[in-house]
């Protein structure tokens, strides 16, 4: 019994062939064979140094066996800095692995699936500190602290630094709120997190000079590795989204009004285009709505999309929310995760969200698509958010909500679902239940799997090895489907 899932009627192969989902579409320089799109999902299978592993190859190879029109590889870091088991593309040494990834997807999809890589930059976030460590070491003590503390504890007016730090650690919360700034309280409660507006930090002030060449070099590598295209990650909690946000109040020409906020993303697009030319697909993922107070709304997303299309972007993939600003407080020693607050719940909506997750964000892609068409751009728009049935896909395409149907979790639950629909075997689709077991693993940076995959059976992969598909306790890849 899955009472929360919408009823569906799967098409026969002939019905599917007459529908919209299986029609081709040009996306910049490539043609997608269908309108089926697998948005980026981080599976936490790279090495600590960000290299492609056999597990990464199996993961994407498994998606490719389901024949989506386009498969987007997880958020991949453009810098050459350690970032845990996230893929990286910040140096030529990553190229051999990325080439293998391209070849794997080509081979396992029989050439049916186009492969795009999502590239991102992110700012530093620290784990929530122990209060003793925060007051003992991290807090930058100044005369303001001393003065405010002295109004509460006059005897400390001339105390040395150690005495002040010890006193701060002993304050009750209401007193602490009188001494620390809002930002310092946030550093204590959530862990310190940099913003694009922290221009007092030289590396943040310098982002406009630093990022365009980093993204351009990443694009060059992606093209050399053989990817069909690039997706600039301008969504969720990451650097380019920070620049686009209404909360970006930078006063150096890279914030404030629309033009200021778009400036760095446009300079990135320009640098990428100069590096890879105009004959290779480059698009972006952006937020139709940030879902945080003072954040960007659909009007901003529409304006950004039209401007980026003018600047030569080949597609716009629309997401929603996923911000740090409203994230749940992490435990001590843990880092905040941008998918835990209301904006995060909109990003990966579950069946528990009011109104349900099914197609809840299509009005955003629809507004963006309408504005692009009104401005004379044919730029394809990808919609996502609870899309998981044939009817939903057909309706969204027929009604002009989007040009490409993004299905992340449904494709995770059953990578073959596209192929099953195409071959008239919809009744065999393992339907995502949208309760986010997978997202819980992502949150802990554990290897992502799906709760619907059976746990016990060790199924050898094509070489007869079980270790890539199974860790001895649970399946690491979707069960195979014998068409």
Ligand X SMILES: Cc1cc2nc3c(=O)[nH]c(=O)nc-3n(C[C@H](O)[C@H](O)[C@H](O)COP(=O)(O)O)c2cc1C
Helices (H), 414-460: 417-422, 437-443
Quote the CA–CA distance of 377 and 381 in Å, as a whole number: 11
Judged on CB neighbours under 10 Å (0-12, 13-18, 19+), 158 is: exposed
Give me the 278-317 binding string for ligand X, x by CB under 6 A, dash otherwise: -------x--------------------------------
The dihedral through the CA atoms of 68, 72, 231, 116 has a sign that is negative
Quote the CA–CA distance of 21 and 396 in Å, as a whole number: 10
Contacted entry of ligand X, ligand SF4, none for residue 39, CB cut-off 5 to 8 Å set by kind: ligand X
Work out whether 169 is an interface residue with ligand SF4 (CB under 6 A).
Answer: no
Among 386, 449, 476, 478, binds ligand X (CB under 6 A): 386
Quote the CA–CA distance of 301 and 74 in Å, as a whole number: 22
Window contacting ligand X (CB under 6 A); options: 35-43, 300-308, 367-375, 455-463: 35-43
Give me the 198-237 binding string for ligand X, x by CB under 6 A, dash otherwise: -----------------------------------x-x--
Report whether 249 contacts 360 (CB < 8 A): no
Among 58, 65, 74, 289, binds ligand X (CB under 6 A): 74
Q: Which of residues 179-218 bind ligand SF4 (CB under 6 A)?
A: none
Contacted entry of ligand X, ligand SF4, none for residue 451, CB cut-off 5 to 8 Å set by kind: ligand SF4
Contacted entry of ligand SF4, ligand X, none for residue 69, CB cut-off 5 to 8 Å set by kind: none
Q: Return the closest-CA partner of residue 299 out of 367, 366, 359.
A: 367
Q: Strand 70-77 and strand 114-120: pairing?
A: parallel
Neighbours of 217 (CB within 10 A): 19
How many residues in the shown chain lie near ligand SF4 by CB under 6 A? 13
Identify the DSSP state of 59: H
Window contacting ligand X (CB under 6 A); options: 37-45, 146-154, 156-164, 253-261: 37-45
Work out whether 85 is an interface residue with ligand X (CB under 6 A).
Answer: no
Window contacting ligand X (CB under 6 A); options: 154-162, 287-295, 437-445, 459-467: 437-445
Residue 357 CB, nearest approach to ligand X (Å):
6
Work out whether 41 is an interface residue with ligand SF4 (CB under 6 A).
Answer: no
Quote the CA–CA distance of 348 and 301 in Å, as a whole number: 19
Report whether 425 contacts 483 (CB < 8 A): yes
Q: Which of residues 447-466 bind ligand X (CB under 6 A)?
A: 448
Give me the 366-385 binding string for ligand X, x by CB under 6 A, dash otherwise: ------------------xx
Give me the 430-459 binding string for ligand SF4, x by CB under 6 A, dash otherwise: --xxxxxxx-----------xxx-------
Closer to ligand X by CB, 197 or 447: give it: 447
Residue 470 CB, nearest approach to ligand SF4 (Å):
17
With H, G, I as helix, E, B as strand and everything else as coil, classify residue 89: coil
Q: Return the closest-CA partner of residue 327 out of 343, 311, 314, 315.
A: 343
Closer to ligand SF4 by CB, 20 or 435: give it: 435
Dihedrals phi, psi of 4, to nearest 5 degrees: -85, -10
The dihedral through the CA atoms of 169, 173, 176, 180 has a sign that is positive
Window contacting ligand SF4 (CB under 6 A); options: 82-90, 171-179, 365-373, 428-436: 428-436
Count of residues making up the chain: 483
Contacted entry of ligand SF4, ligand X, none for residue 435, CB cut-off 5 to 8 Å set by kind: ligand SF4
Give me the 66-85 binding string for ligand SF4, x by CB under 6 A, dash otherwise: --------------------
Quote the CA–CA distance of 367 and 312 in Å, as a whole number: 20
Identify the DSSP state of 91: S
Residue 344 CB, nearest approach to ligand SF4 (Å):
14
Work out whether 239 is an interface residue with ligand X (CB under 6 A).
Answer: no
* Axis crossing angle, helix 143-152 with helix 161-170, rounded to the nearest 10: 60
* Axis crossing angle, helix 54-64 with helix 95-108, rounded to the nearest 10: 30
The dihedral through the CA atoms of 160, 163, 167, 169 has a sign that is positive
Residue 410 CB, nearest approach to ligand SF4 (Å):
7
Residue for token digits 């590795």? Answer: 225
Closer to ligand X by CB, 285 or 430: give it: 285
Contacted entry of ligand X, ligand SF4, none for residue 33, CB cut-off 5 to 8 Å set by kind: none
Give me the 391-420 binding string for ligand SF4, x by CB under 6 A, dash otherwise: ------------------x--xx-------
3-state SS, one letter per residue, for 105-156: HHHHCCCCCEEEEEEECCCCECCCCCHHHHHHHHCCCCHHHHHHHHHHCHHH
Neighbours of 173 (CB within 10 A): 7
Sites of contact with ligand SF4 (CB under 6 A): 409, 412-413, 432-438, 450-452
Sites of contact with ligand X (CB under 6 A): 39-42, 74-75, 118, 233, 235, 285, 319, 348, 384-387, 406-410, 438-439, 442, 448
């Amino acid at each position: 019994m899955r009472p929360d899932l919408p009823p569906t009627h799967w098409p026969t192969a002939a019905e599917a062939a007459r529908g919209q989902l299986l029609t081709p579409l040009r996306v910049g320089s490539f043609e997608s064979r269908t309108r089926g799109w697998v948005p980026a999902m981080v599976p936490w299978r790279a090495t600590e140094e960000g290299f492609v592993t056999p597990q990464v190859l199996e993961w994407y190879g498994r998606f490719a066996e389901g024949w989506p029109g386009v498969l987007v590889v997880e958020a991949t870091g453009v810098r050459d800095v350690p970032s845990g088991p996230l893929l990286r593309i910040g140096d030529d040494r990553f190229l051999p692995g990325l080439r293998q990834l391209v070849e794997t997807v080509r081979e396992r999809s029989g050439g049916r699936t186009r492969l795009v890589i999502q590239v991102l930059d992110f700012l530093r976030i620290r784990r929530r500190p122990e209060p003793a460590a925060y007051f003992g070491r991290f807090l930058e003590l100044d005369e303001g602290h001393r003065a405010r503390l002295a109004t509460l504890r006059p005897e400390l007016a001339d105390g040395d630094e150690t005495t002040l730090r010890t006193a701060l650690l002993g304050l009750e919360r209401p007193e602490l709120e009188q001494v620390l700034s809002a930002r310092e309280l946030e550093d204590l409660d959530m862990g310190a997190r940099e913003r694009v507006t922290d221009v007092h930090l030289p590396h943040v002030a310098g982002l406009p000079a630093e990022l365009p060449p980093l993204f351009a070099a990443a694009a060059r590598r992606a093209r050399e590795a053989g990817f069909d295209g690039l997706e600039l990650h301008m969504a969720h909690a990451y650097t380019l989204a920070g620049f686009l946000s209404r909360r970006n109040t930078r006063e150096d020409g890279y914030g404030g009004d629309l033009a200021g906020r778009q400036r760095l993303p446009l300079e990135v697009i320009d640098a990428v285009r100069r590096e890879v030319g105009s004959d290779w697909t480059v698009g972006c993922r952006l937020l139709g709505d940030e879902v945080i107070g003072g954040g960007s709304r659909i009007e901003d997303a529409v304006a950004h999309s039209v401007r980026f299309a003018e600047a030569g972007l080949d597609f716009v993939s629309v997401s929603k929310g996923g911000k740090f600003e409203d994230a749940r407080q992490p435990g001590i020693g843990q880092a905040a995760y941008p998918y835990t607050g209301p904006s995060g719940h909109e990003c990966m909506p579950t069946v528990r969200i009011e109104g349900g997750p099914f197609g809840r964000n299509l009005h955003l892609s629809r507004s963006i698509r309408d504005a692009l068409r009104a401005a004379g751009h044919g730029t394809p728009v990808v919609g996502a958010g609870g899309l998981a049935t044939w009817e939903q896909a057909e309706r969204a395409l027929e009604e002009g909500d989007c040009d490409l149907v993004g299905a992340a979790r449904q494709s995770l639950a059953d990578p073959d679902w596209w192929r099953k629909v195409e071959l008239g075997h919809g009744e065999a689709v393992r339907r995502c239940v949208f309760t986010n077991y997978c997202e819980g693993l992502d949150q802990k940076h554990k290897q992502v799997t799906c709760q619907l995959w059976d746990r016990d059976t060790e199924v050898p992969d094509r070489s007869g090895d079980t270790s890539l598909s199974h860790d001895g306790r649970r399946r690491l890849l979707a069960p195979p489907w014998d068409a």
